[in-house]
Amino acid sequence: MSDINPYDYIPQPSVGVLYDPPARPHVDLAGTTAVVIDAIRATTTIVSALAAGATEVVPYLTDEDVHAEAARRPAGSVVTCGERLGERIEGLDLNNSPPLMTPEAVGGRSLLLTTTNGTRAILAARPADTVLVAAFANRTAVARQVAEAGRRTVLLSAGTVGTVSCEDTLVAGACIEALADAEGGEGFHLEDSAQVALMAWQAGRDRLEAILRETWGGAFILGLGLDDDLAACGRVDTTDVVPEVRGDPPVIRAG
């Protein structure tokens, strides 16, 4: 049984969801479009930064890496940004906060970013042929790009400190719903994992704000007094910006 490849049997192109962060090393992303989701807050921050005019977002595992890269860049050309367990890392310019991603703060500059969950997930997705970044804010634009690529797609949840994330599941479901309405999207087969995310989104979209406040990640952010961050993370279809991860070392730019 261990030698069976399910994708020899699942009609293609298909879309599925990887919910569990510890499962990432066991998933073959070669030949796929990977869509990374960390709804509260990293992927919303990345989308917001690029929409506000940042030239790029560069993901890092550690704040030491961020400081080292900032030291190599010309003065004034970068903004450093990062958090651990929701709070700004001392010595970095900004927290991982979507409302802080304004044209005044990041326009025309590179954002060097490290976060608890999201940047790790982005770096883990690099074996895919294409890596996109999704949030509620750009779910329809992401779905259009997935449909245009026309290949097997894995929606990859960053999770919350190594566990399954409700809010990431809802973003995945929102993207899957939008995929059905995108040109060419009707030809995608929904894997079982995608069906689960779609049903979760359809059941919860009318009370999205309340659900986000009840999730582990949402409640944690509220406990830090970051109500505006959570509100920003729950806004749907506010931009057509689709961040794409390219290169080695990876850089995220608007596709």
- Local structure of 16: helix, strand or coil: strand
pLDDT at 230: 98
pLDDT at 2: 61
How many whole angstroms from its chain centre is CA 26?
20
On average, the pLDDT of the chain sits at 97
- CA-CA-CA-CA torsion for 131, 136, 141, 146, nearest 10 degrees? 40
Q: How far apart are CA 217 and CA 198, in angstroms?
A: 20
pLDDT digits (tens, 9 = 90+) for 65-94: 999 999 999 999 999 999 999 999 999 999
Q: Sign of dihedral through CA atoms 118, 119, 121, 126?
A: positive
Q: Which of the residue ranges 3-12, 195-204, 210-219 would you say has the lowest mean pLDDT?
A: 3-12
pLDDT digits (tens, 9 = 90+) for 165-199: 999 999 999 999 999 999 999 999 999 999 999 99
pLDDT at 133: 99
Q: How far apart are CA 32 and CA 57, in angstroms?
A: 22
Mean pLDDT of 188-215: 98
| Helix (H), strand (E) at residue 152 | none
CB 13 within 8 A of CB 151: yes
- For 65, the token pair is 């890496």
- For residue 110, give Cα distances in angstroms to 57, 87, 142, 151, 202: 6, 21, 22, 31, 37
pLDDT digits (tens, 9 = 90+) for 6-36: 888 899 999 999 999 999 999 999 999 999 9
Phi, psi for residue 157 in degrees, rounded to 5: -80, 135
Q: How far apart are CA 208 and CA 233, in angstroms?
A: 11
- For residue 238, give Cα distances in angstroms to 9, 46, 148, 174, 233: 37, 14, 21, 13, 11
CB-neighbour burial class of residue 4 (10 A; exposed 0-12, middle 13-18, buried 19+): exposed
